[in-house]
Amino acid sequence: MRIATVFSGIGSIETAVSKVYGEKNQEIVFACDTGEREINKTKEDVENETRGMNEKEKQKYISTLYFGKGKRNFVKESYFANYNISDDNWFEDIRFINGNLFKNKVDLFVGGSPCQSFSVIGKRAGLEDARGTLFYDFARLITEIKPKVFLYENVPGMLSHDDGKTWKHIQDIFDSLGYKIFKALLNAADFGIPQNRKRLYVVGFKNKKTNFEFPKPKKLTTSLKDFLDEEVDAKYYLKEKGFEFVTTNPHRARINRKIIQTQKANQQYNWNGDFVFEHLDKHKHDKAIQDGAYVGNYNGDMGLVRKLTPNECFKLMGFKHFKNVVPDMQAYRQAGNSIVVDVLVEILKKINEVL
């Protein structure tokens, strides 16, 4: 399975493909992610400055622009620690990928552009009308690469944005590319992960005779406790102020729920998200935790409250053996911005049936 991804994040589709086809039966043609960094140059500026360069020189120049911002690409660091890819197959910016170089060399092309404003899309809703949005570049690459299948993911709000006009424009653009498309809203909690994370998935096939059905929901047989680490560092336990906030603000923080709420990029910061309460008896012999954490009363029991660890957050996105090589704040962001692997696995199985 030859895959190419943009807005690649920490490689959810790469992990899913490995599970379905086997790691040895996966080739990553290319991947791309800015790592939440921006350069203060327009696309036109960069194109003017790279005119006359060959493709390798152009990409090296663009990398220099990003690294010149003085910020690490933490996403790239995580990606390279977990997948087999070379620098030559990594791009910093989707806007400058020449998809013609990969024409007919990709089986599956995957991405989920940021849910930015689509107000620039015109009434005709053709591809040119989307110019100026990152969605334009995703669609452009489909026309240039001509993959057998593409998979697009985004938030459910895309369907209702601007009274449905945004989705109508996007659907018209997908139709104009010559692909037969199918869409569905799928929730992670229906595919083995105890997280209420509903997302829009769009699958497009170059073969317009394809008949495709999305996977059916399954009964959830796991809960949060099945994804918790056995040993947790003392630094993840809250002090008094955090304990008091988390235990008295259920609209911001939830404790020991069977199904967690949607993980977000700011998961576990500002005491936002899901937390774990543990009875004091569990830690009566753990001096490091007792010295650093606050012991308080919650629902009549004395104990401690802690954040989910980055490893737990990765597991709650379907990454069971993810190698974390970045600081905690970045790890939480990367988990919260990812796509649930288990949902992609089930979609891939259905794609495999029709391929």
pTM of the model: 0.94
Integer Cα distance of 242 and 67 in angstroms: 36
- DSSP class of residue 195 equals B
Q: Mean of the per-residue pLDDT values for the chain?
A: 92
Q: Binning pLDDT at 50, 70 and 90, where does residue 117 land?
A: very low
Residue 115 is a catalytic residue: yes
**DSSP letters along 236-294, please?**
GB--HHHHHHHHH-TTTEEES-SSB----TTTTSTT-EEEEEEEGGGGTT-HHHHHHSP
* pLDDT tens digits, one per residue of 251-263: 999 999 999 999 9
Question: How would you label 35-70 residue by residue, b for 16+ Cβ within 10 Å and e otherwise?
Answer: bebeeeeeeeebeeebeeeeeeebbeebbebbeeee
Q: For residues 33 and 113, is the Cβ–Cβ distance under 8 A?
A: no
Integer Cα distance of 257 and 220 in angstroms: 14
Active-site option among 39, 115, 159, 234: 115
Q: For residues 262 and 195, is the Cβ–Cβ distance under 8 A?
A: yes
Q: Binning pLDDT at 50, 70 and 90, where does residue 121 land?
A: very low
Closest CA to 316 of 298, 331, 305, 327: 331
Amino acid sitting at position 170: I
Q: Binning pLDDT at 50, 70 and 90, where does residue 119 land?
A: very low
In degrees and rounded to multiples of 5, residue 251 shows phi and psi of -75, -15
Q: Quick check: 315 pLDDT over 60? A: yes
Strand ordering across the sheet containing 296-298? 253-255, 273-279, 301-307, 296-298
Amino acid sitting at position 94: I
Q: Binning pLDDT at 50, 70 and 90, where does residue 159 land?
A: confident
Question: Considering the chain, what percentage of its residues have pLDDT values greater than 70?
Answer: 95
Q: Quick check: 120 pLDDT over 50? A: no
Q: Give 253's strand partners.
A: 273
Q: Binning pLDDT at 50, 70 and 90, where does residue 212 land?
A: very high
Q: Quick check: 116 pLDDT over 90? A: no
Beta-carbon count within 10 A of 18 CB: 19
Beta-carbon count within 10 A of 82 CB: 19
Q: Quick check: 178 pLDDT over 60? A: yes
What domains sit in the chain, N to C, each tagged with a CATH number?
A: 2-37+73-217+341-354 (3.40.50.150), 230-308 (no CATH)
- DSSP class of residue 3 equals E
How much is the pLDDT for 169?
84
* pLDDT tens digits, one per residue of 88-102: 999 999 999 999 999
Beta-carbon count within 10 A of 166 CB: 20
